[in-house]
Every structure is written in structure tokens, then in C-alpha cells.
Amino acid sequence: MGKYDTEKLRNLGIVAHNSAGKTSLVEAILFNTGMTPKLGRVDDGSSSMDFEEEEIKRRATLGASLNHCTWNDYSLHIVDTPGVSNFLHDTRRCLRVLGGAVVIVSAISGTKAQTKLIWNWCDDFEIPRIAFVNKMDKERADFLKAVDDMEKSLGARGVIVTMPIGAEEEFKGIVDLVKMRARLFKFDENGTYDEVDIPAELLDEAERLREQLLEAVAESDDELMEKYLEGEILSEEDVLRGLREGALTGVFTPVFCGSATANIGIRQLLDYIVVCLPSPIDKGIQVGVKPGTEEPVERQPREDEPFSAMVFKTINDPYAGKLTLMRLYSGTLKSDTVVYNPNKEEKERIGNILEMEGKKQVPMELAAAGDIIAVPKLKVTATGDTLCDLKAQVMFEPLVPLKPIISFALEGKSKGDEDKVYSGLQRLMEEDPTLTITRDEETKEMVLSGMGQIHLEVAVERLRRKYGADVLLKEPKVPYRETIRAATKVQGKYKKQSGGRGQFGDVWIEVKPLPRGSGYEFIDNVVGGVVPRNYIPAVDKGIVEAMKTGPLTKNQMVDLQVSLYDGSHHSVDSSEMAFKVAGSMAFKKAMEQCKPILLEPIMAMEITVPDDCMGDVIGDLNSRRGKVVGVEPQANSQVIRAEVPMAEVLRYAPELRSMTSDRGMFSMEFSKYEEVPSHQTAKILAESSEA
């Protein structure tokens, strides 16, 4: 058997937008459950969960971290997730394997776009949620307004289970609407309180909210509804059963309140986490496929099932090596066991099994269904892979990584560091599949792409700190293209005599423009053998090489047709090389007559913004030479679809954040090439000549 009964296991993520207090809540949970001797704080860098240098510097969670604790004989695996928009991809990967979530709602600012996105992912993965209204002791805290904002922006039905006693400086404690008792806190950081009767001035409000609670729990269960309608009093056990049913089915979201930094309401939240959030058994069967087929395979969350697990995160440490984090869906796992990776079609040997405690790892003897563990030094396994029993194979569907939205060119500070930079980036990409590195063959630049400017800046900081590779980020060059407007016919003749055998090639070509996106087309119209068949591919090759360097900005030429229709040859001096040079000469000569023009890449963008920001964002897109092609309304937001030149949105992420007070999000991908306006062409040509 595992260390804990699977029925008493809870895998949960703490989720919300940045600065809502996720890490502070985790620290308070760890302190109240005895996992840490002191209440860790983000502001002074004493948090056990935000331990990376970049997180301490920015006072923000930039990567998911894990810990565990026990409460009332229940085992809790807790994942502290990022809320910064640039790092939400890590939150999404964790949600894929978690059972439940605590969504933090700020009593000051309510919910933001990032919380909405995370909420939608929870819907996608069918993750039950409860909500915790945090920061009730802070200035401008408003509990009911925060709950209302949650309901409107997330489309959730909030059912209040604990209500605050006071707010801001007057915040004193909470009322438990199930027990109908008040808890007045002593503000001693230990979370100690006195349980008392509900203050008289709050009794009417408490009874009103309790009635709403009873109606909600009755609706979640036919038996409870019958008792409620017949006027029977619902017992505390009835209410808890209804709360659990409502939360697990998503009929409503139980709402709690408190202050993580003041350690108020945390123990009460823990009581309800074990009631309202699911065990692995509640989550039920995991369905995968038999590797190499579409045949479905089921795995029950039981220890007597064959072993199966999914990898959701990889951590690379330059000293400790690679740590692979996985969630066990079925069976058990012991040290020194051979398992199978169907994604890579390779066996892996499991050495030590570890349990994560922030940045520390604690050895385990045995892991069982539902456990979240770390395994060091696996050879081929990567994020998203399945591990399973070799004799009972299954493969779970991996998450498709989010597409990068911003790119920067990398420039090493020291010559000869390229190998170090590249190997370090490969290690970072193992940890973070949304980071991509490419070499642009046109611009000769190494281009790093990711989910935002902060994402790339943090990657560069880690590259320097972990792997000693120092690089600079700079805007990448825009991959312009060149094409032509007019057609022409020209001769290219190459004749060289230098004693002995010479070189002779003579071609006539016709060059025509093609529709946008057609690429390049070569047509052999030679008749009568004026250009021997064996030399015609050389002419084509010479033209293709000449097209790599256009006449305007030395960018690749596209969308044109070249017909070879005439020429001559010499029986002794002609050669493939001579006809290749002749083809190149003819093409370059043609470009002087074909009215070359510049093309620029156009990006298809999808931008989600709050209603009150739509006018500003559309006006900004127009100023960037963008074209809005559609607007789709959503709850309290608008989705704008637009086509915008790449040159205008290289640094769009921070500018959208500024316009929308960090409430806007966007994605973009290459769409097509279009002609650059004449005034813009002149500017680009001037910059190109200066470079």
C-alpha cells in the first residue's frame, strides 16, 4: 500500500492572476499543517515556494513549485502555479494532471484576464474548484463585490460558505455558515482564534447567506432537495455532502474568505478543501490508447492496476541534473524499476523516487496511484510523455504546447560562446517546451521565441546563472521578401577566354510576376537543342542562387516565373558552370527592368481585451497599419481578429499590457506576405543602406 489511502489524497493547484496571493496562501497552508516552522513571506524573500533567484528578484512565481502536507489525516499535494501571463503555460501543464483547484479572488481587484483563462482551462480538464477571497485585511477590500466580480467575469455561481467579520483594518475574523459560528482571530501570525456566537450586527446577513447556501446544496442532491422542500432541517452532515456534490459536479463554486499573509481563515479553508475537492478515485478512470493504435485503454486509480503516469514538468539543475515530475494515474512505483516510455519507444530505469518540498527533495520508498513524485536522471523522457508498465502499455494524450507569441534575436557577449549558448538553451527548452530556438537562414540570426518579453528575459537570466552563457536580446530582423511587378525578356551571356579551354554560356529568359504566394516557377521552353538538355538544370540553379539576394534589400525573391526559351552553346567551351553563371547574369539583368517591390510578413492576430479597452486597442492597431477583420463578443471582453505587419508588432506584448492594465492577451501566427506601402519602402531601404 502507499503512504496514504488514495481516497484521502488531494492533488490541488492554487491558481489566479499575479499578485492575488497564491504563494502566500501556500506558505500559510504549509505553516498551519506543520510543514514549515515559520510563515514564509514573498516580500522578504523567505518563501519556500518562490526560491529561484529570478522569482525572488521579481517577487512573483515564474514556475510551478510543489509541496505536500497532511491535514486531518488527508494527504495534500499542492502546486503553487504562476499567474504572470508570460508563464501561464506552466500552470496549464500542471492543471492537466491535477484533481482540483483553489481559485484565489482578490478582495481588492477581483479577477483578471489571467484568472479567466485559467478558469477556462479548468473547464477543459473538468477540474472542480473552490474560491478563496484573499486580502480581506487590506485597504479597499470588499468581499461581496469580489464575489460578484467572480460570478460575472468567470461565469461561475458562487456559494458563500464563510463570510468576513469586517473588512480592511476592521477585519477581525470569519463566520462559518455551515456551523453558524464565528471565529475571532488574535492576529498573532499563528492563526489562533476564539470561537464565539455570531455578532448580533451580522446575524441577519449571516442568516440570509446561509439560506442561499442551503438552497444551493439542496439543488445538488435529490434527497436533500426533498428534505429541504418538506421543511426539514438539513444537518451539518447534509450540508457538507451537498457542498461536496455541488463542487465536484461544477454546479456551483463554494466561496471562502480570509487573509493569507495574516493567517486568517486558512485552517477553515483546509477543512473544506478535503470536503469539496476530489480524490483520485473521484476523478475516476483515465483513458489512453494502446501505443501504435487508436484502441482505447482504461486505467483505474488503484494500486493493483498496472503502473501508468504522465510527466507534466521537467526541472534541470546544472549540479543535481534532470528531475522529471510526474503524476501516477494507476499502480505503484518502487525504486530500481524498469518502466516503458511509449512516446519515445524506450525503456527507462527508475532510480530514486522523490517527493518535492519546494526546492528540496525527500526520498520515498513507494509511490502509489494519485501520488505526484519526482524522478532524477531519466535519459529520454520529456514533458508530456507517458510512462507505463512494459507488459501493459498505455499512452495518454499529451498537451500541445502553446504557440510562442514573441521572438528576439540572441547575440552572444563573447565570441566563441555559441556552443555554450545553444547547449544551455536546449536544457532550458527541456524544462519549458514553449521556448523555441531557431536559426534564421536569411538573417543568420539565432532567434529565441516565447510567450512574452518577460518570459525571454527570465530565460536569458537563467541561461547566464545556470549555464554561464551571457547573451543579449535584440529585436529580430524582419524577413522581408522581394518580387516584381513587370515582365521582361533578357539575354545572359557568359564568355571567358584565358588560354586553353574557355567558358561559354548563352541564354535568353523571360521573367513574369506570379500571384502572391506562388513561389518560384522555372519553365523549359527550349527547342531545337540550342541549349543542350544537360545544361538546363544549371541555368535553373544559377537563377535560384541569384534569387536569394534581391536588388532592393538583398532579401529572398519570390512569386515569379522564369522561362528559358533560347540561347546558344559552344561545343568545346560550354559547361554546366558557364550556363549557371549565364542564368544568374540574365536574372540580375532582368531585375533592372522588372520593377522590383518589397513584401512584408503579415501576422494574423487574435487579441482578447476587456470591453472598456476595445476602442483603444483597435485605434492602436490602425496606427500600426493593421486591418481588423472581425470582433467577437465574450463575457465582459471582446476578441479582436486582425492582420498586422510583423514589423509593427515585434514588441506588442508589453504595449498591450500597458493599454489594458495587464488585462489583455493575444496570440499571433504568420499569415501571408503583402506589398509594403511606398512611403514605408523608402524608410526600409534607407535603413538597409545604413546597415
Tell which residue, 482, 440, 689, has the closest CA to residue 601. 482
**How large is the average pLDDT for residues 324-329?**
96
pLDDT at residue number 669? 81
**C-beta of residue 437 within 8 angstroms of C-beta of residue 429:** yes
pLDDT number for residue 2: 44
In tens, the pLDDT along 227-276 reads 888 888 899 999 999 999 999 999 999 999 999 999 999 999 999 999 99
Q: Are strands 296-299 and 286-289 parallel, antiparallel or unpaired?
A: antiparallel
Q: Is the pLDDT of residue 556 over 80?
A: yes
User: Which residue from 91, 85, 84, 104 is spatially nearest to 22, judged by alpha carbons?
Assistant: 104
Which tens digits make up the pLDDT trace of 631-658? 998 766 789 999 999 999 988 888 888 8
pLDDT tops 60 at residue 1: no
Residues 323 and 415 in one domain: no
Whether 394 is covered by a domain: the verdict is no
* pTM confidence score: 0.80
Give domain status of residue 319, yes or no: yes
Is the per-residue pLDDT at 463 higher than 60?
yes
Q: Which one, of 475, 472, 469, lies nearest residue 428 by Cα?
A: 469
pLDDT at 349: 96
Local confidence band at 453 (pLDDT 50, 70, 90 cut-offs): confident
Last residue of a domain, one of 262, 282, 302: 282
Average pLDDT over every residue of 194-221: 95
Q: What is the DSSP letter of 514?
A: -
Mean pLDDT calculated for residue range 378-393: 96
**What CATH number corresponds to the domain at position 572?**
3.30.230.10
Same domain as 232, residue 122: yes
Q: Is residue 171 part of a domain?
A: yes
If one compares 334 and 454, the residue with the highest pLDDT of the two is 334
Residue position matching grid coordinates 503583402: 674
**Can you give the residue range of the structural domain that contains 632?**
600-690
Last residue of a domain, one of 426, 454, 474: 474
- Which cell numbers hold the place of 496? 571567358
pLDDT band per the 50, 70, 90 thresholds, residue 210: very high
Q: How far apart are the first and last CA of the chain?
A: 68
Judge whether 1 lies within some domain: no
Q: What is the 3-state secondary structure (H, E, C) of 444-503?
A: CEEEEEECCHHHHHHHHHHHHHHHCCCEEEECCCCCCEEEECCCEEEEEEEEECCCCCCE
Q: How far apart are CA 106 and CA 433, in angstroms?
A: 30
Same domain? 617 vs 667: yes
At 280-316, the pLDDT tens digits run: 999 989 999 999 898 999 999 999 999 999 999 999 8
Regarding whether 518 and 454 lie in a shared domain, the answer is no
What does the pLDDT read at residue 664?
81
In this structure, what CATH number is given to the domain that contains residue 414?
A: 3.30.70.870
Note the pLDDT tens digit of each residue in 5-16.
889 999 999 999
- What does the pLDDT read at residue 635? 64
For cell 513574369, what's the residue? 512
Compute the distance between CA of residue 492 and CA of residue 43 in angstroms, rounded to an integer. 72
Kindly state the average pLDDT of the residues 541-549.
Answer: 95
pLDDT band at 518 (very low <50, low <70, confident <90, very high): very high
Q: Which of 378, 325, 313, 335 is nearest to 355 (CA)?
A: 325
Q: Which residue, 642, 645, 610, is CA-closest to 629?
A: 642
* Residue 467 φ/ψ, nearest 5 degrees: -125, 5
DSSP bridge partners of 366: 334
Domain for residue 398, yes or no?
no
Residues 250 and 227 placed together within one structural domain of the fold: yes
| Same domain? 648 vs 683 | yes
CATH of the domain at 614: 3.30.70.240
Determine what percent of the chain is predicted with pLDDT higher than 70: 98
Residue 15 sits in the same domain as residue 122:
yes
Round to whole Å and give the CA distance between 193 and 165.
Answer: 13
**Of 538, 570, 594, which one is at a domain's C-terminal end?**
594
Separation between Cα atoms, residue 179 and residue 41, nearest integer Å: 31
The yes-or-no verdict on residue 4 having pLDDT over 60 is: no
The answer as to whether 60 is a domain residue is yes
Q: How many independent structural domains does the chain possess?
A: 5
CATH, residue 188? 3.40.50.300
What is the SS3 assignment for 210? helix
* Of the candidates 316, 466, 307, the residue with the CA atom closest to the CA atom of residue 376: 316
Look at residues 286, 207, 215, 221 and name the one whose alpha carbon lies nearest to residue 249.
221
Helix (H, G, I), strand (E, B) or coil at 88: helix
Q: Are residues 246 and 358 in the same domain?
A: no
Say yes or no: 608 and 468 in one domain.
no
Residue 412 covered by a domain: yes
Rounded CA-CA distance 199/211 in Å is 18
**What pLDDT is attached to residue 438?**
85
Residues 459 and 516 reside in one and the same domain: no
Do 74 and 152 have their domain in common?
Answer: yes
- One-letter amino acid at 29 equals I
Q: Are residues 415 and 520 in the same domain?
A: no
Residue 111 has pLDDT above 80, yes or no: yes
Name the 3-class secondary structure at 647: helix
- Give whole-number Cα distances, 229 to 61, 179, 218, in Å: 47, 21, 9
Q: How far apart are CA 468 and CA 586, in angstroms?
A: 50
Q: Is residue 50 one of the residues assigned to a domain?
A: yes
